[in-house]
Amino acid sequence: MQHSSSRFGLAFLLLAAPAFAQVIHGRDGIRLDAPPDVQAIPVTDDYFGTKIVDNYRWLEDANSTETRAFIDAENAYTNTYLQQARIHSQLSDDLDALENVSDETAPIERAGSYFFERRLAGEEQYSICVRHGWTGKDERLIDPATLSRDPNTSVELYDVSRDGLLLAYGIKQGGADENAVYFFNVKTHKTLTDELPSARYLSLSFTPDGTGVYYSRSSKEGSLLYKHAFGTRNSQDTLLFGHEFRGEPLGGSDLITGSVTDDGHYLLVQIERGVPPRRVDIVFRDLTKPNSPFDILVWSLDARFSAIYAKGAWYVKTDYQSPMGRIMKADPGVMPEAWQTIVPEGKNVIDHWSIVGGKIYVNRLVDVKSETEVYTLDGKPAGGIDYAGIGSASRLIGRTTDRYGYFSFESYLAPPSIFRVDTETGKRDTFFQPKTPFDSSQYELKQVFFKSKDGTQVPMFIVGKKGLKQDGTERLLMTGYGGFNLSELPEWNPAWAWWLQQGGWFAVPNLRGGGEYGEQWHEQGMFEKKQNVFDDWFAAAEYLIANKYTSPEHFAIRGRSNGGLLMGASITQHPELFSAVWCGYPLLDMLRYQRFKVGYYWTTEYGSADDEKQFDYLLKYSPYQNVKMGTAYPAVMFFTGDSDTRVDPMHARKMTALLQAASNSGRPVLLHYSTSGGHSAGVSVDQKIQDDADELAFLWTETGQPPHGGNAR
């Protein structure tokens, strides 16, 4: 790609007003002045003979004085809006009741003790706890409130040694992906002097004897697998895997993870090629033989594999020659065609799997609803796990040698509960059940199917109060994702529960690009076929409008990350369908995304504008390059923050400036920019409530009745 630029000095921001400067009218009587003035400083790129002008390239520099002034001005503008939103204070109180409740995670069982994360009502963050014995008392081991005065400091449990005496945990700030790793002695209640510095860790696993850990760390140069021995300096850590293997180089988008098999015999290494991986390679090392080489389980096949070692054999789940997935007994040194199929491919995709207590637990998605089948290690059916209605279940968590396993189950109408399963008898016990003030009996959840633009049948969940009017006058909130082979399953979200409590409809279409119907469903939303995802989304909106669940003036949509790209496409391709858009941590400039943060990971999903053929289709849908001056765009809130170390906040900054300059609808275009929030979980409960209140206040307000004679959307 040739690049040329024409820049005018970065003088003052208040020199160029938006092209359509006007008084902005929000719904419910909200009135704003014109958005902050932002200077357009053109930079021209030449992509294979096509000239592309970027007026806000200067906003890519997050640390410049001018960019920080832009952020401050935009935040002040957004605050002016939120201060006028009459529902905002009620929202904070309502969400406090829904979100400030006790919660726990599924436990790691070691030597008769149960290690888990717990947050009690009134606490800002999860602590790491232990319960000695099934009926023992819970003991708090790591409390983030004692580690920092910053309520956005969080801890995460990584692993526990086989004897239950040591645990590894991470500490991170806000929503960043990076964290530092520490080690805690459960018996002495002291933290070891050993620590791993803040970085992006992909895996961490104790050595079989508990004298050290294996960990993998990722950077732009690539990911590497190390061994750290306790009591030694980090500079002495042993590099075990990375850079290259048997002459094949490993690059920055090859993600390496390492784990120890449950019997302590092998170190298992998986190499994911890209995000999502286009292929997964697996090697292993015999830990009973010092300095033994890595042997290959599978290598250089364009398919995805995951492996578990149980009772002296390797078991592998793969989509190799089976796009819906199957489970095989693998023989190292031979091709998968010679492996034995244990659980064959079926019509429903395998979503998760595990081996616990010597049995294989297989979660399949049956039209996006979890069903779990149980098999013996030789493939004989051995029952299943029954669930209460439409919802999503986690994989069964436990070791191959454990008698008990743990799973969570949730839905749009029920927060996640955690259960223990006896793998010998099938008996189920409750480990944790939340007490949330939400009466699910007042609501109904149903699934419909609609046709996309090319005739593809696409499923969609719709939730609302029983008896809710279906005459086009009610508000509706729709969310979606459509990418990276990720399935959008029925899950609990307090913000969505609040929307339902107010009498709004809620909908989730299962777009192509996800994994709901296997790898082929994913591939239909990748690369040059990404437009299928957007077409599925627009068809869902048209179905909801045609069936009078809502109408464009009452239609709210929201999405984040790859779902933020979906919001950008909604704004630029069909602004007439929606009244309010919340666009969180988004990808929007698809010609330059791969140059920032870890964007280069995602070229295996989207492609790259550095390739001429891929540039052509990226340009057609890239939201930032498809904003048209003088268009009546809906109300939009872009939501991001400095702590997003995954998707660069420059996307939201640039798109805010461009859309404010381009829109002539008189509807608000806002930037909500946090200095503590980020892409990953980790912010405090109070911060989460504030963020959700800001989002919902905007979406609820901007889908109310438009002023008399005002804009119909």
- How far is the C-alpha of 574 from the C-alpha of 553, rounded, in Å? 13
Tell me which long-range contacts 403-409 makes (C-beta under 8 A, separation of at least 24).
403/357, 404/109, 404/356, 404/357, 405/354, 405/356, 405/357, 405/361, 406/106, 406/107, 406/109, 406/431, 407/106, 407/372, 408/106, 409/370
- How many residues would you count in the chain? 713
Closest by Cα among 531, 613, 520, 516 to 566: 531
Neighbour-count burial for 271-302, b at 16+ CB within 10 Å, e otherwise: bbbbbbbebbbbbbbebeeeeeeeeebbeeee
Peptide bond into 575 cis (omega under 30): no
Closest by Cα among 579, 702, 713 to 26: 702
Angle at 700 between CA 85 and CA 569, to 5 degrees: 115
CA–CA distance from 72 to each of 25, 41, 80, 279, 494 (Å)? 22, 20, 12, 44, 29
Burial status of residue 523 (CB atoms within 10 A of its CB: 0-12, 13-18, 19 or more): middle
- How far is the C-alpha of 258 from the C-alpha of 201, rounded, in Å? 11
Annotated catalytic residue 3: no
CA–CA distance from 364 to each of 308, 320, 342, 367, 370 (Å)? 18, 17, 15, 9, 6
- How far is the C-alpha of 166 from the C-alpha of 185, rounded, in Å? 5
Structure-token pair, residue 95 = 């969400």
- How far is the C-alpha of 97 from the C-alpha of 152, rounded, in Å? 20
Structure-token pair, residue 183 = 């080690």
Helices 650-662, 562-573: crossing angle, 10 deg rounding: 10
Alpha helices by DSSP H, listed for 199-338, are: none
User: Which residues have CB under 8 Å from 199's CB, separation 6+?
Assistant: 178, 179, 180, 217, 218, 219
CA–CA distance from 559 to each of 65, 231, 634, 659 (Å)? 30, 46, 15, 18
From the list 674, 679, 680, 684, the catalytic residue is: 679
Q: Tokens 């929606």 — which residue? A: 578
Pairing between strand 254-260 and 266-273?
Answer: antiparallel
- How far is the C-alpha of 609 from the C-alpha of 618, rounded, in Å? 7
Within 10 Å of residue 137's Cβ, how many Cβ atoms? 8
> How much helix, strand and coil, in percent to the nearest 5, is found in the chain?
20, 35, 40
Structure-token pair, residue 445 = 């959840």
Do the beta carbons of residue 563 and residue 576 sit within 8 Å? no
Do the beta carbons of residue 599 and residue 589 sit within 8 Å? no
Annotated catalytic residue 352: no
From the list 205, 370, 487, 561, the catalytic residue is: 561
Q: State the catalytic residues.
A: 561, 679
